[in-house]
Amino acid sequence: MDDIVKQAMAKWPNVPDCYGWLGLDARGNWYMRDDRAQACGGFASGKPGAKGSMLQHAKLIEFIERNYASDAEGCWFFQNGPQRVYVELEATPRVWRVDDKGGISSNAGQHVAFERCLMDEHGWPYLQTSAGFGLVHTQDVGALASAVDQQAWLVEEVRLADLPKRFVYCTSPCALQMPSAQ
């Protein structure tokens, strides 16, 4: 976490948390969700306009990713100075990139170590890494398949519905706060 964020948290300890305004899609893209986007439905609902506006500013995205963490309940958030901004997830809290040599990195370019490969009943691949659990980016499924074909990675079958509990993450902290809103 950035020092400036830690300083802001110490200076203003009682800033209320924010829900519903930030989302991470299944390709690792960040979205800002204003009132209009939130009124269209839940982030992962697939309804037109519900995702909001995709963030394009590289420095803002880097700042979010440096200050991205989860709480004890598995709700992921961006610590924006003194305010905790909870993140709506389309799929998982991380989206991993896999290169043609089997190297794994986050969208921010952080290299991580492989621990296990999983695949759900829909054929979606996931990785457990030294930095946590996440979905494999759709553009990198071919590289993952090569690692599996070369028997570098064994695949464990899982059920999609079991993933949040098993890997301790919540796809919609907003829905936990306001069940009727989603």
pLDDT > 70 fraction of the chain, expressed in percent and rounded: 97
pLDDT of residue 156: 96
**What are residue 155's phi and psi, to 5 degrees?**
-105, 130
Give the predicted TM-score (pTM) of the model. Answer: 0.89
pLDDT digits (tens, 9 = 90+) for 68-77: 999 999 999 9
β-strand 95-98 against 104-105: which pairing, if any?
antiparallel
Contact, 80 vs 13, CB < 8 A? no
3-state secondary structure 95-138: EEEECCCCCEECCCCCEECEEEEEECCCCCEEEEECCEEEEECH
Task: Name the least confident of 96-100, 123-127, 175-179.
Answer: 175-179
Whole-angstrom distance, CA of residue 141 vs CA of residue 36: 34
Domains identified in the chain and CATH numbers: 3-91+169-181 (3.10.540.10), 95-160 (no CATH)
